[in-house]
Structures are given as structure tokens and as C-alpha cells.
Structure 1
Amino acid sequence: MWRDGEVPVSSQFDDPYFSLENGLAETRHVFLDGNDLPARLRPGFSVAELGFGTGLNLLALAQAAIAADAVDIAYTGFEAFPLTREEIARALAPFTELAGLVPGLLAGWSAEGFTTRIGPVTARMIPGDARRTLPAWEGRADAWFLDGFAPARNPELWEPGLLAEVGHHTAPGGSFATYTAAGHVRRALAEAGFEVTRLPGFGRKRHMSTGRKA
């Protein structure tokens, strides 16, 4: 489904893939600023995401990395319900300042999983239920984008067991950021080893959450 012809809405969870107000501004506020990026980027820095979605967060990361002259950045996204190439192209079309990066994503796209290069970022998408795919992942992230659909609509992606795996797959000193400040999510992330902070959210969202692993 599409809201106003531009914003994709999940038919399974009845939730938009990004903010109706300004998806790119939300990404920068929540996921980039929330993880203190691009300031922390260094060669070999690893970003992981629960909920690859349209790839908007990945492209915003790549744009920020290019602007910061960062090199050798890794990104891994976990996605249970991959969109089609055509849906991704339509969803990203309004973000004209990312237009130069979109072809790199679309050229490498496969709903069966892929690895592609976007500027200084080597990006991988792992399809399937993250409750199974994340435990099998051999990597560890320096920063996490936790961008599943709202916990009330998509509780599976916010289960304590999965968030414990997020903690397990986070490097020492690593971070997370998410748009939600739901109490049960913050408690689960604290139990996963993060020092959790509630911050002002984007737009109409009063609060969001960030955290660092000791």
C-alpha cells in the first residue's frame, strides 16, 4: 500500500516504512545522530540494522560516509519481508538528494539476499526471520539501527531474546538507536548489556532511545 502515492505502508503490519513527515530527516535524527554518526566512522566500522525496509537508512549512511571521507564501512541489514526492486525505486524516488546512490542499491538488489557496494559502504542484506538469521551471523556491529515496525504491530522484532542477540552481536563500546521508547524495549536492551538513554524523538514522536554497550 502507498500513502499519498509516495510513502510505502506495510500491508502485513499496517505501518509506514518511514516517517510521513520527512523520512530522510527522521533517519538522520534517529539513526545517524542517535549513533553519533558519521563522527565515529573509521575503517572497518560495522553497522547492522533490524528492518532493512526500503534501504533509506543505508543510503543515508552512505551519503554521510561520503561527506565525511570515510572508507571501508560495512553494513548488514536483516529483513524478513523484502520489497521488490520496483517498490524500492518508487519509495526512494522522492529523496532526490540520494538519487546518485540509488542505482548502486537497485543494481545489486535481490530479495534472496545480496552484497553490493554503495560509495564507501559494502552493504549486505540477509533475508529471513531475524530470530533465526541474527544468531547465525558471525559479525559484530559497532552501531545498530533498530528499525522494525512499531512494537505494538511487529512484536517479534522486539522480543527480549532477539534484543539479547543484538547485544551479543555488538562490539564493546558499540551503540544502538531506535525511534521507539517503549518501556519493554528499553528494559530488554538494558538486559542485553546497553546503558539506555531516552532522548527527544523526531517530529510528533516525543521520545526515542539510544544506548551504548559497556
Structure 2
Amino acid sequence: MTDPNSDKTAANEGQRLQWREGDMPYSEAFGDHFYCQSDGRLECGHVFLGGNGLPERWADGGPFLIGELGFGTGLNFCETWRQWKTARRADGRLHFMSFELFPMKAEEISRALSRWPEIDAERQTLVAAWPAEPGSIVSLELDPQTRLTVACGKALDGVMNAAAGFDAWYLDGFAPSRNAEMWSVELMQAVFGRTKDNGSFATYAAAGFVRRNLISAGFAVERRKGFAGKREMLCGTRPPRS
């Protein structure tokens, strides 16, 4: 329950939020903002959609499965859904599956996303469908061509329990220096093992150990220009099986 006399609210057990600059959530548990302070929506487009070659890859139609480490506010999903609606073919089907340890409340998601009028329709639909008390799995059919699944709990457990067949990954945990578990070699290996041949990943992170863990897992990794003055980001693909 939100305390009207405080600008802090308990997101859930084990996680507390601060609200900075009005509607920008900050995690006390990880000591980090949930998205880029300059413009998280534009960062999503540059890093996650651009780094995975989207929406161009949707031109082939058919099913497309995106995995995300860290659902957070739902910003990446809403921006992806917005772009998906403009680019999808009639036979296209998007399944966006995210892994989140501390799911937010609907009102917190709404507050965090209210700063972007571009995704207002997606925000409202997501918030209206979001359960009051998320269980271990949140599964939402948001339109006839779009499904959202959020597996609540540790990312490694969730990914290990997921079926293979991911076309693209958004690696978007809190900063590696603050949440190294989300960038571990074990988790990167699990992500790799569930990625299709020629499937891709993208991340804002460029720390040396993150790059090494991705390469060790089996990905072909490349550096690209980062967003908003950040020197580098990483993206790459799973090479075809011989």
C-alpha cells in the first residue's frame, strides 16, 4: 500500500522503490535506476530492438519469441509491443517472455511508464490486465497477436525451466557491478542453450566479464556504439549448429 506521506513504497517483499524526479523508479535493493535517466524508451529502441535487428526481422511473419532478463517497469515490453503493432504481418505472433525477481504492482508500473505518451495505449492495456498479486507466472493475451509471460523468481531458475526456441534476447538486468548474478556465466549458458540457431541478444552492458561470459557460453559477440554517450554496448548471435 502506498504511504501518502512518503515518496517510497514497498514494491514487494525484499524490494523497495524510491521515486526520483517525480516518476523515475530507483531500486534500493540494487542501488540503481530501472532505466536510462536520459530516455529509457529511446534506449530500448537503440539497444534492444536495434541490437536484435528488430523490427526488420518481423517481416518474415510467423511466431517470434523474445526473452528478457529483468521485466522491471515493463518499459521494454511496451515499446516493443508498440513497434510490433506497426510492423507485424497478418500471420505474425509475438510471445514476449520475461524473467523478474521482484514484480512491481500495477500502480507502480503505471506511474513509472506515465512519462512516455508514445506508449500510453500499451501502458493502459498492460496495467488493466496486470494481476493484483502476481504469482509465479503472469500470462497475458494482450491482443490476438501478442502474448506476455513474466516468470517471477530467480532468472536462472526461470530460464532453466523455459523451453528452447528463443529468437532474440534482451539482457537488461541491473548494472553488472550491482547485480552480478544476472550476468553470470551459468545464466548466459542457460540463455545460449535456449536460443535458436542464428538467434540474437543485445544488452546495454559492455563490462569485460559480461562479454567474456557471453563468449564462453558460445555466442558470437560484437561491440556497437552505446546509447546517449555510452561508449559501447554488446550484441551478438548464436552460430548455427554444425
TM-score range, shorter chain: over 0.9
**Within the alignment, does 1:57 sit opposite 2:82 as a pair?**
no
Aligned-pair CA distance for 1:69: 2.8
In the alignment, what sits opposite 2:51?
34
Aligned positions, number: 214
CA RMSD of superposed structures (Å):
1.1
Aligned-pair CA distance for 1:183: 0.8
Aligned-pair CA distance for 1:97: 1.0
Tell me, yes or no, if the aligned pair for 1:101 and 1:118 is still in contact at 8 Å.
no
Aligned residue for 2:63, secondary structure, equals: coil
After TM superposition, which residue ranges in structure 1, 4 or more long, deviate above 3 angstroms? none
List aligned pairs for 1:1-214, cutoff 5 A: 1-41=18-58, 42-70=61-89, 71-110=92-131, 111-112=134-135, 113-119=137-143, 120-214=145-239
Query: What is the identity, as a one-letter code, of the residue corresponding to 1:117?
Result: E
Asked which structure has the greater RCO (Cα within 8 Å, sep 6+), the reply is: 1
Aligned-pair CA distance for 1:173: 0.5
Separation in 2, partners of 1:183, 1:134:
23
Separation in 2, partners of 1:130, 1:62:
22
- Which structure has the larger Rg over C-alpha atoms? 2
Separation in 1, partners of 2:177, 2:66:
25
TM-score (norm 1): 0.96
Separation in 1, partners of 2:233, 2:119:
25
Partner deviation per Cα, 1:89-125 (whole Å, 9 max, x = no partner)? 0001011111111122112223223111334321110
Separation in 2, partners of 1:99, 1:43:
27
Tell me, yes or no, if the aligned pair for 2:164 and 2:196 is still in contact at 8 Å.
no
Tell me, yes or no, if the aligned pair for 2:66 and 2:96 is still in contact at 8 Å.
yes
Tell me, yes or no, if the aligned pair for 1:50 and 1:148 is still in contact at 8 Å.
yes
In the alignment, what sits opposite 2:6?
none
Query: What is the identity, as a one-letter code, of the residue corresponding to 1:166?
Result: V
Separation in 2, partners of 1:183, 1:140:
27
User: Which ranges in structure 2 are unaligned for 5 or more consecutive residues?
Assistant: 1-17
Aligned residue for 1:173, secondary structure, equals: strand
Aligned residue for 2:57, secondary structure, equals: coil
